[in-house]
Structure 1
Amino acid sequence: MSALMQDIDAFDVPARGIAIWFLGQNGWVIKSPGGTTIAVDPYLSDINAGRRPGIDSARRLPIFIDPENLKVDLFLCTHSHIDHACPVTIEGSHKAGTTRFAGPAETQAVFARAGVGEAEREVTFPNQVFAIGDITITGTYALPTDDTDLNHMGFVFQVDGGPRFYVTGDSAPVGLLRYARKFEPQLMAVCINGGFSNLSHWEAAELVREVDPELAFPCHYDMFADNTCPPHMFRASLTIQGVGEKYRLPEYETPFVYVMGEGGRGWSG
């Protein structure tokens, strides 16, 4: 088994807390005090390399978990783009023993082609609320970035008696994203790469100011040479907008723990 997956399995999450691991791009593993594990958009292959002529989309990061070791309670995708619903990762995780896969409509064909049976996959949609173990998940709105997938989403993860973690997913800029403030998340992960129609670092910082989490993690800036953004630009944008204290830079393979009433520990920023 991959060392990181062993660490995740063995990690004890404090009561009223949440633990989060960053896998690069928009890849996250979430764990609750009850031991529930959720993988969000794990891209654990190099299948995107060379797919678009003239664009360097080769993987720049290590593969932190072998897909065939990624056994989680829920494999969740925000949309069907290959760096979010990676068929290699899906197939490997299914072989590892993951039996529940979920995502918006256009992810369903990806799951099916990767060998996930109809009874093991489910469609998600904005405003839907569902639960697994001691985590309740609410689907949120995201604006598609191109016409290859018109079903983008984000998610809010609520640990029973604990914090809420909002993952925007890929989204083009649109004012309606601000509605996520009503979920009152303590933590927020937001894409910051302005290339290919996603939120820019400035637009991401504006959204953080509007949603007002305690802490904000940049993502989707580090995987491909031709779709990067230095995360310090997001930090600077937050600072200019008067909320620089919210910034936390994710560290690969390292858990970030947040406990209600005690705040977060890890990831210095």
Structure 2
Amino acid sequence: MTTSDWGDWLPREIADADPDGVDAWYLGCNGFVLKASDGTTVLVDPYVGTGSPPRTIRMIPVPFDPDDVERADAVFATHEHTDHVDEESQAPILEATGADYYAPDDSLDVVAEEDWQVDYDIGDDQLVEASEGDTFDVGSFTVHVVETADADATHPVGYVFEHDAGTFFHAGDSKPSDSFSDVGERFDIDAAALAFGTVGNVPDKETGVPARTRWYNDENQIIECASDLRVDRLVPTHYDMWKGLTADPTVLHHHAKSFAYPRDLEIVEIGDRITL
């Protein structure tokens, strides 16, 4: 298992935090922790792996050890890719906290194929299939599962986290989706995490030959998503993670300024905390 570069300070900060409403910590890649004023704590796509060098090379610190997570009421996966569904990142949290694991069917298939329940004490009732249109409560959050558009995934979903303090949307690695206009009409989204990166050359998984790769939104696509979603605050993610696909999110100010939405660009680095 990968060891944290930062020790346990980030899990300690989250455990000790006492938000007035909802605070969110960016874990790098596409991971977040949301903590509400009543202590409800959920994680979305937490990943502490280093990729598969030389194809995918992690460019940022490993911010925590899963064994240092004290509380999690639920862990959410948006789709089946390794940096979103990862045994060493997520199974220890499920075992230690008893958290429910919400994931679409193809993501749960990865859990079964990798035999998480052989290596860790995770009950069948902890593994919950999340399907578009589902709505359920996790502590003080009401969670809505919505359709997204990620052609590189076999079954991606997004999650809308509603709370009295505000609404947070995690789109996974989605690019512009026909569903986003409807999502933007249904929910008053205070902050949305949307994946952003460059087009780069990544070694092919089979041949090792560098191939032109677009895994995330470019500058125009991410603003299209935020505009359709009517987002108050756009939080770009994933731009920091993989060598050859990193990007500069500050350029998005220029792309966003002629649109009504997003109203603000919230640029976070790994370990940063924001308040809804």
TM exceeds 0.5? Answer: yes
Cα distance between partner residues in 2 of 1:110 and 1:73 = 21
Deviation at 1:151, TM superposition (A): 0.9
Deviation at 1:255, TM superposition (A): 1.9
Cα distance between partner residues in 2 of 1:12 and 1:102 = 25
- Is residue 187 of structure 1 aligned with residue 197 of structure 2? no
Mapping of residues 62-81 of structure 1, within 5 Å: 62-70=61-69, 71-81=71-81
Aligned 8 A contact 2:197 2:247 in 1: yes
Identify the range of structure 1 (214-223 vs 242-251) with the bigger mean alpha-carbon deviation.
242-251
Q: Which structure 1 residue ranges, 5 or more long, are not aligned?
A: 259-269
- Is residue 241 of structure 1 aligned with residue 240 of structure 2? no
Mapping of residues 108-257 of structure 1, within 5 Å: 108-112=108-112, 113-115=115-117, 116-146=122-152, 149-159=153-163, 161-181=164-184, 182-193=186-197, 195=199, 196-241=214-259, 243=261, 245-257=263-275
Report SS of the residue matched to 1:96.
helix
Cα offsets for 1:158-209 (capped at 9, x unmatched): 11x2211111111133333222202111111111225434322211112212
Q: Which structure 2 residue ranges, 5 or more long, are not aligned?
A: 1-6, 200-213
Aligned 8 A contact 2:80 2:154 in 1: no
Cα distance between partner residues in 2 of 1:244 and 1:81 = 28
Cα offsets for 1:237-269 (capped at 9, x unmatched): 1124355751010133232112xxxxxxxxxxx
| Alignment-derived partner of residue 102 in structure 1 | 102
Cα distance between partner residues in 2 of 1:86 and 1:235 = 33
Cα distance between partner residues in 2 of 1:119 and 1:40 = 19
Report SS of the residue matched to 1:88.
helix
| Alignment-derived partner of residue 266 in structure 1 | none
Deviation at 1:233, TM superposition (A): 2.5
Cα distance between partner residues in 1 of 2:189 and 2:132 = 17
Report SS of the residue matched to 1:175.
coil
Cα distance between partner residues in 2 of 1:39 and 1:215 = 20
**Equivalent pairs: percent with the same residue?**
23
Report SS of the residue matched to 1:143.
coil
Report SS of the residue matched to 2:105.
coil
Identify the range of structure 1 (214-223 vs 66-75) with the bigger mean alpha-carbon deviation.
66-75
Cα distance between partner residues in 2 of 1:171 and 1:232 = 20
Aligned 8 A contact 1:145 1:170 in 2: no
Cα distance between partner residues in 1 of 2:66 and 2:217 = 29
Aligned 8 A contact 1:158 1:164 in 2: yes
**For this pair of structures, how many residues does the alignment match?**
248
Q: Which amino acid aligns with 2:247?
A: C
- Is residue 88 of structure 1 aligned with residue 88 of structure 2? yes
Change (3 A) 1:254 1:199: closer
Q: Which amino acid aligns with 2:135?
A: V
